[in-house]
């Protein structure tokens, strides 16, 4: 295909004035609102970077932004989309330049250095372009009337190199697997009316934001007490929704937050999709393409170990011994997996930065459905007593990790707290006890932490208990996930 054929192939709206319906989804992810804010063109308008794991819907979001521009009556020919993962573009700046020249001369019929109105250039999976960050910097610094919106799945190249070369020029928005709230809203746009009405009772503004705003504004004792009183006032309303919420939570816990899994009922098909379209493509294609990976099996073996022990403390030395590899290799490979958003690392809560760097870390897999696909778990295994607690803790971490805050864990002797959230200096300990009955001994870690650091209180995430005891708020998992 020549340059003009490629341009027409990816930009059908130049002829029709609209985007094909199959490229759009009815439901907008939470990240869409942030992208909307960043979309308008201004002088020296920042490049917008959308990053996240494969199969989370980044390309769909780009098409939804293009649809928004078309609805705002932007000339369709002033909107250019190219998928850099197409073999014709991979590590081929020359062909991309030829496409832009053709776009300039044949489609726009204007020179890029003398544009009457801004143009919007969407470059999907830009990490496949060699030295993409320098190419983009050159165009940005020319101050043409171009708004660049880029996406990528491999953050080691999107974020790290972009930050170095595009400092002050780029705004980053992350797209992770769906939260529980997004899962409910996705299904509200797809399923029968009875399900929609039932699940809407969990996500409608008057119910959910009664608690969500006070939770997000926790700062001091007064706000902590206010948060509990708000819950107490609505306790009957919350408990009336619990059975419905738990039934939806079970489906979410089983399959996870990648949108594509909900096209399939059979768990074996879901697992095949996650393994082939997410795990194998990232470990055998994306990471080797941007890093010097000599042992893909070792990389995949580390994913398996993190999945097996999600939320456990890891030692590079022990992992090296188990894998028959050098500690430095293990450290690098885990960094690559983290850069590709497949796993997350969690530091120990320490006052001294140097002490933090020397401490062992916890690792969590990025999505519960992906964990189950790696481990080939049956539904019975997923909800067994030994596994559902690990699943609940992984879900809580992945929801906390979507927000802009510092998260760590705390351990001192026999005392431990699963998560310590530091939001602008406000410290909130969160413990996950996903079980029917919670004994006082289960609370010794969070009580010790609250006392040692003289805090106002903490949160325990439970199976179904909603209560308050001496500074500790007990919140069911389904409700806590909706608050994040």
pLDDT at 157: 47
Tokens coding 345: 């690392």
Same-domain pairing of 410 and 455: yes
Q: Model confidence over 428-449: pLDDT tens digits?
A: 999 999 998 899 999 999 999 9
Same-domain pairing of 238 and 329: yes
Same-domain pairing of 360 and 386: yes
**Residues β-bridged to residue 362:** 313, 346
Quote the CA–CA distance of 346 and 165 in Å, as a whole number.
28
Same-domain pairing of 110 and 189: no
Same-domain pairing of 167 and 194: no
Q: Could you tell me the residue range of the domain that residue 162 belongs to?
A: 3-175
Number of domains in the chain: 2
Same-domain pairing of 272 and 358: yes
pLDDT at 242: 86
Last residue of a domain, one of 155, 175, 195: 175
pLDDT at 4: 94
Same-domain pairing of 170 and 189: no
pLDDT at 66: 97
Same-domain pairing of 51 and 113: yes
Last residue of a domain, one of 145, 175, 205: 175
Which three-class secondary structure string do you get for the chain? CCHHHHHHHHCCHHHHCCCCHHHCCCCCCCHHHHHHHHCCCCCCCCEEEEECCCCCCHHHHHHHHHHHHHHCCCCHHHEEEEECCCCCCCCCHHHHHHHHHHHHHHHHCCCHHHCCCCEEEEEECHHHCCCHHHHHHHHHHCCCCEEEEEEECCHHHHHHHHHHHCCCCEEEEECCCCCHHHHHHHHHCCCCHHHHHHHHHHHCHHHHHHHHHHHHCCCCHHHHHHHHHHHHHCHHHHHHHHHHHHHHHHHHHHHCCCHHHHHCCCHHHHHHHHHHHHHHHHHHHHHHHHCCCCCHHHHHHHHHHHHHCCCCEECHHHHHHHHCCCHHHHHHHHHHHHHCCCEEEEEECCCCHHHHHHCCEEEEECCHHHHHHHHCCCHHHHCCHHHHHHHHHHHHHHHHCCCCCEEEEEEECCEEEEEEEEECCEEEEEEEECCCCCCHHHHHHHHHHHHHCCCCCEEEEECCCCEEECCEEEEEHHHHHHHC
Give me the residues of the chain with pLDDT under 50, please: 156-159, 191-197, 354-355
Place of tokens 């119910």: 207
pLDDT at 44: 63
- pTM (predicted TM-score): 0.88
Q: Model confidence over 321-368: pLDDT tens digits?
A: 998 999 999 999 998 898 888 999 999 987 655 445 556 789 999 999
Quote the CA–CA distance of 141 and 95 in Å, as a whole number.
21
pLDDT at 206: 60
Same-domain pairing of 144 and 201: no
pLDDT at 25: 83
pLDDT at 93: 87
pLDDT at 158: 47
Same-domain pairing of 383 and 453: yes
Last residue of a domain, one of 142, 175, 208: 175
CATH number of 85's domain: 3.40.50.300
pLDDT at 127: 82
Same-domain pairing of 285 and 350: yes
Quote the CA–CA distance of 129 and 134 in Å, as a whole number.
10
If one counts every other C-beta atom within 10 angstroms of the C-beta of residue 37, the result is: 10
Same-domain pairing of 154 and 264: no
């Amino acid at each position: 295909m020549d340059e003009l054929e490629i341009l027409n192939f990816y930009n059908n709206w130049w002829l029709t004035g609209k985007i094909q319906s199959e490229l759009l989804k009815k439901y907008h992810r939470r990240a869409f609102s942030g992208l909307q804010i960043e979309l308008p063109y201004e002088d020296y308008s920042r490049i917008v970077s959308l990053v996240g794991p494969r199969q989370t819907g980044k390309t769909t979001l780009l098409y939804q932004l293009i649809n928004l521009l078309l609805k705002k009556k932007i000339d369709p020919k002033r909107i250019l989309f190219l998928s850099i993962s197409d073999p014709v573009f991979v590590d081929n700046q020359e062909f991309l330049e030829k496409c832009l020249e053709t776009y300039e001369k044949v489609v726009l019929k204007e020179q890029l250095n003398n544009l009457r109105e801004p143009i919007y250039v969407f470059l999907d999976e830009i990490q496949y372009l060699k030295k993409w960050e320098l190419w983009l910097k050159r165009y940005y610094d020319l101050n043409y009337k171009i708004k660049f919106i880029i996406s990528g799945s491999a953050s080691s190249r999107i974020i790290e190199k972009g930050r170095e070369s595009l400092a002050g020029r780029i705004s980053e928005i992350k797209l992770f697997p769906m939260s529980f709230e997004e899962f409910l809203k996705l299904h509200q746009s797809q399923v029968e009316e009875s399900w929609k009405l039932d699940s809407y009772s969990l996500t409608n503004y008057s119910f959910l934001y009664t608690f969500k705003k006070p939770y997000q504004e926790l700062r001091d004792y007064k706000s902590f007490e206010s948060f509990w009183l708000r819950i107490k006032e609505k306790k009957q309303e919350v408990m009336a929704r619990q059975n419905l919420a738990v039934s939806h939570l079970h489906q979410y816990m089983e399959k996870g937050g990648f949108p594509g899994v909900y096209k399939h009922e059979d768990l074996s098909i879901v697992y095949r999709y996650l393994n082939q379209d997410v795990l194998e493509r990232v470990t055998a294609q994306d990471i080797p393409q941007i890093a010097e990976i000599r042992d893909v099996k070792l990389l995949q073996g580390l994913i398996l170990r993190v999945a097996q022990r999600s939320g456990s403390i890891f030692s590079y030395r022990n992992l090296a011994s188990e894998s028959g590899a050098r500690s430095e290799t293990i450290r690098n490979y885990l960094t690559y997996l983290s850069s590709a958003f497949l796993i997350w690392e969690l530091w120990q809560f320490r006052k001294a930065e140097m002490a933090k760097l020397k401490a062992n870390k916890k690792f969590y897999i990025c999505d519960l459905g992906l964990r189950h696909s790696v481990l080939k778990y049956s539904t019975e295994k997923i909800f067994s007593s030994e596994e559902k607690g690990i699943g609940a803790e992984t879900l809580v971490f992945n929801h906390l990790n979507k927000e802009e805050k510092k998260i760590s864990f705390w351990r001192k002797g026999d005392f431990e707290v699963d998560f310590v959230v530091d939001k602008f200096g406000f410290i909130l300990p969160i413990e996950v006890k996903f079980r029917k009955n919670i004994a006082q001994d289960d609370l010794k870690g969070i009580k010790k932490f609250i006392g040692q650091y003289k805090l106002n209180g903490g949160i325990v995430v439970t199976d179904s208990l909603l209560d308050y005891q001496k500074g500790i708020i007990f919140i069911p998992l389904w409700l806590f996930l909706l608050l994040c």
